[in-house]
Amino acid sequence: MQEGKQMLNPFIKIFYFFFVLTISPLFSQGGLLYYGNSRPVADAGPDIDAVSYDMVKLDGSKSYIADGSELKYEWTFAPGLVRYDPDEFDLELSSKPYGRDQQFLKSVKTYKPVLEITLANNPPGTKLEVILKVEDRIGFDAQDTLYIEYIGQVVDQPNLIPLDTSYNANENVFEVSEKPEEGISFLLGSLIKDELDPINVKIVNTIIIDQMNYLGYQFPVSINDNLKNNSTNKNFNNQCFTDSCIAMNAQYNGNSHVLSWSIDSDGKLLLRVFASQSFSEWIDQTTIKSPFAKIENSGIYGLDPSVRSAVNRVFTNKTFFRELSLFNRLKRRGNEASRFLGRHPFVFGLMVAATTYFVIPEEESQKTTPPPPSFPH
């Protein structure tokens, strides 16, 4: 009998160990057994009507949990709704931007039920989603959604205007220099008839210029649409739908190069760059597939990542690359290397293995020290 008890003791200990291991997290997570199945309820508040650059208060204070414990709030924003500023939410738990360009805010985590945001520039009628997720101390969560709809008149965003272009805020046009620009300068033109709304065309132009500045290019840029009502040249064509037409406008305006974009019969967005003196010989061209599908899913800012990638591709030519500062050249080469290794992790693994094998010296084999003579064998 005593031997049977001794045989059962190890099994009882093992069972007790796994029982404690299983039940202990329930006690450690804030009294789940005491409060029972109490889950949080999320309330993001009513939908909001606003205009571009409005400061909006998101109020999730009606969210609650029955036991009255503290909740954590996570606000997630649709692409293009809030511009990202890392310093604006530095006091919160965390904030994340969209994509590598980090232009728009993706989410904010905080313990505060009310969050203030500043809306980005969007055309009237744009309706974008905000998702609130509340989480209790145990890890249960709940979600609610509100929509922010843009009303009123859209406003051009001042901080996206290229620094090398003279801007008249009163007339909302770019000033045109009467003298031709020295060195490389661009006329940016959209060869769009009615495929996109004029407001959306302006947004795409703004994204293109913003990405050029991000890459470090300091070329003066004029926008063809803004020159229509301000050109003093009688030969300036106000209705350009071809590369030859916009190339002539660039020559009249004193621009050495043209950056034009259009939508072809297959629904693809084409972006190309060429010298104004030879419009038929493109320096480079790239294509964005299914632009309307991206717009339908995420609004005009759904094109943002694709347009920025397209700008990166057409400006790889050495004609423009050599105009970058040494810092921006190294920065761009580093980004290209990072993207390559991200797409080809096997190559990265080989590099690490080669570094380990050839660079890191092998440890000297440890010599066995014989035991002292008095050590028992």
Sign (positive or negative) of CA dihedral 216, 324, 225, 165: positive
Q: What letter would DSSP give residue 58?
A: E
Looking at 196-200, 303-307, 367-371, which range is the least confident one?
Answer: 367-371
Number of domain units in the chain: 2
Is residue 288 within 8 Å of residue 211, measured between CB atoms? no
Q: Residues 72-76: what's their mean pLDDT?
A: 94
For residue 184, what are the domain limits?
Answer: 158-324
pLDDT tens profile 289-325 = 889 998 888 888 889 999 998 888 888 766 676 666 6
Looking at 47-61, 252-266, 324-338, which range is the least confident one?
Answer: 324-338
Confidence class for position 369, pLDDT limits 50, 70, 90:
low
The C-alpha R_g of the chain, in whole angstroms, comes to 30
Q: Residues 281-288: what's their mean pLDDT?
A: 85
Dihedral angle of Cα 324, 326, 332, 338, to the nearest 10 degrees:
170
Burial of 220 (0-12, 13-18, 19+ CB in 10 A): buried
135 and 278 housed in the same domain: no
290 and 187 housed in the same domain: yes
pLDDT tens profile 19-29 = 545 554 444 44
Specify if 41 maps to a domain: no
Q: Which two tokens stand for residue 7?
A: 């045989």
CA dist 352 and 346 (Å) reads 10
Asked whether residue 6 carries a pLDDT value surpassing 60, the answer given is no
Asked whether residue 154 carries a pLDDT value surpassing 70, the answer given is no
Give the pLDDT confidence score for residue 47 in this predicted structure.
94
In 3-state terms, what secondary structure has residue 131? strand
Percentage, residues of the chain above pLDDT 70? 64
Asked whether residue 38 carries a pLDDT value surpassing 70, the answer given is yes
Write down which residue in 324, 339, 359 finishes a domain: 324
114 and 183 housed in the same domain: no
Write down which residue in 324, 339, 372 finishes a domain: 324
Q: Residues 104-120: what's their mean pLDDT?
A: 90
Asked whether residue 280 carries a pLDDT value surpassing 70, the answer given is yes
Q: Round the average pLDDT of the chain to a whole number and report it.
A: 75
Asked whether residue 18 carries a pLDDT value surpassing 60, the answer given is no
Specify if 58 maps to a domain: yes
CA dist 181 and 324 (Å) reads 18
81 and 209 housed in the same domain: no
pLDDT tens profile 201-233 = 889 998 998 888 888 878 888 888 777 655 556
Write down which residue in 324, 341, 359 finishes a domain: 324
Asked whether residue 337 carries a pLDDT value surpassing 80, the answer given is no
Give the pLDDT confidence score for residue 144 in this predicted structure.
94
Give the pLDDT confidence score for residue 320 in this predicted structure.
72
Q: What letter would DSSP give residue 356?
A: I
Confidence class for position 147, pLDDT limits 50, 70, 90:
very high
Asked whether residue 145 carries a pLDDT value surpassing 70, the answer given is yes
Q: Which CATH number goes with the domain that contains 203? A: 3.40.50
Asked whether residue 133 carries a pLDDT value surpassing 90, the answer given is yes
Is residue 182 within 8 Å of residue 236, measured between CB atoms? no
Other CB atoms within 10 Å distance of the CB of residue 313: 14
Is residue 225 within 8 Å of residue 189, measured between CB atoms? yes
Q: Which two tokens stand for residue 301?
A: 């800012």
Sign (positive or negative) of CA dihedral 331, 337, 340, 341: negative
177 and 83 housed in the same domain: no
Closest CA to 81 of 132, 115, 134, 126: 126
Asked whether residue 148 carries a pLDDT value surpassing 90, the answer given is yes
CA dist 133 and 69 (Å) reads 16
104 and 190 housed in the same domain: no
162 and 281 housed in the same domain: yes
Confidence class for position 74, pLDDT limits 50, 70, 90:
very high
Pairing of strands 173-174, 114-118: unpaired
Percentage, residues of the chain above pLDDT 90? 18
Confidence class for position 80, pLDDT limits 50, 70, 90:
confident
Cβ neighbours for 146, distance < 8 A, ≥ 6 positions apart: 44, 45, 46, 47, 48, 58, 129, 130, 132
195 and 308 housed in the same domain: yes
Give the pLDDT confidence score for residue 162 in this predicted structure.
36
CA dist 310 and 219 (Å) reads 18
145 and 267 housed in the same domain: no
142 and 184 housed in the same domain: no
87 and 165 housed in the same domain: no
Is residue 186 within 8 Å of residue 255, measured between CB atoms? yes
CA dist 94 and 77 (Å) reads 14
192 and 287 housed in the same domain: yes
Listing DSSP states for 148-188 in one string gives EEE-S-----GGGS-TTS-EETTTTEE---SSPPSS--EEE
**243-246: Cβ within 8 A, 24+ apart:** 243/191, 243/272, 243/274, 243/279, 243/280, 244/279, 244/280, 246/187, 246/189, 246/191, 246/279
Specify if 241 maps to a domain: yes
Specify if 339 maps to a domain: no
CA dist 199 and 205 (Å) reads 10
Specify if 19 maps to a domain: no
Highest averaged pLDDT of the listed ranges 132-136, 177-181, 230-234, 261-265? 132-136
Q: Which CATH number goes with the domain that contains 79? A: 2.60.40.10
Specify if 246 maps to a domain: yes
Across 110-138, b (16+ Cβ under 10 Å) vs e yields beebebebebbbbbeebebebbbbbbbbb
Q: Residues 3-30: what's their mean pLDDT?
A: 52
